[in-house]
Amino acid sequence: MTQSSETTAEQSIIDLDSVESGTSLWEDAWNRLQQNKLAMFGLYVVSFMIIIALLTPWITPYSYFEQDLDLGATAPSAAHWLGTDTLGRDLLTRIMYGSRISLMVGFLATAVALSIGVLWGTVSGYFGGRVDAFMMRTVDILYALPFTIFIILLMVVFGRNILLLFMAIGAVEWLTMARIVRGQVLSIRQQEYIDAAITMGLPKRQIMLRHVIPNTLGTIIIYVTLTIPNVILLESFLSFLGLGVQPPQSSWGLLISYGVETMEEYPWLLIFPAVVLSVTLFSLNFLGDGLRDALDPKASRD
């Protein structure tokens, strides 16, 4: 008993000394992330997907729109690794082109949601009182707008446009982000280190940037990793309704929804896009989990 407590005390001393080298928060986080195998797997998969998406036009021998009606739907073969669809188009090529749209929607719309949501939530939570009431009632009102009608209206007014799609999705997703961040900020606001910063005379903007927002990071990252898949699925829903991406362009959501129609005759048209989508979403979640742990300095001694 005494021996074990001695060793733990010793270990903690050694532990303390080993942190001596001047590591920044980000270096530290990177080191910790590398120790998390699942998160690194996620990082590799996501990076791979992004690189493939970027290089698609140069690495695929087929085009995504040229049809070969004589060929029709064929099972995976040496010429068409993942087979062809009912119009004779190479499925792998279409998945690769689809990833360009899906990933772009996922990341850009989330980035829009993230920047508006964090800013809105932080200001609202930090200032409180009437500012808070006004900003949060605005969010409530926007929440009450039916999403689909909102998108249709946007399409009617501005015409169909992929950029508009990002904006529309971002404009909806930031509402939840703002609420989550505000809740976090309300509790951080009560911490004494905020009072300490005020007594030092640190300007409000800097208090928010240096003390408040960094402490909401854990929650934000988790929510971002939940939002990206959400947005990718939302895009496929919109495309399915004919409001998003239009054929012959493709996205993962679109490929899956067409795959469902012919699932009994040509199952590979559903299976391959679905697998790619799931693997990406899983990887994003693993990566998000890992990032949250890595960015929490308290986790470093575990």
Of the two residues 217 and 274, which places its CB atom closer to another protein in the complex?
217
CB contact at 8 A, 73 and 268: no
Residue 214 sits in the site that holds another protein (CB under 8 A): yes
Residue 125 C-beta: closest distance to another protein, Å? 17
CB of 17 or CB of 264, closer to another protein: 17
A 10 A CB-CB count for 86 gives 16
Q: Which of 10, 195, 241, 278 binds another protein (CB under 8 A)?
A: 195
Q: Are 67 and 240 in contact (CB under 8 A)?
A: no
Q: ω into residue 248 within 30 of 0, thus cis?
A: yes
Work out whether the CA dihedral 93, 255, 248, 56 comes out positive or negative. Answer: negative
In the shown chain, the binding pattern of residues 133 to 172 toward another protein, with x for contact by CB under 8 A and - for none, equals ----------------------------------------
C-beta closer to another protein: residue 182 or 211: 211
Cα–Cα distance between 253 and 257 in angstroms, integer? 6
Query: Do 101 and 250 touch, CB atoms closer than 8 A?
Result: yes
SS3 (DSSP) at 293: helix
Residue 16 interacting with another protein (CB under 8 A): yes
Q: Rounded to whole angstroms, how far apart are CA atoms 91 and 297?
A: 45
Of 51-59, 73-81, 88-96, 200-208, which part binds another protein (CB under 8 A)?
A: 200-208
Q: By CB under 8 A, is residue 211 in contact with another protein?
A: yes
Q: Which residues bind another protein (CB under 8 A)?
A: 16, 19-23, 25, 191-193, 195-202, 210-211, 214-215, 217, 297-298, 300-301
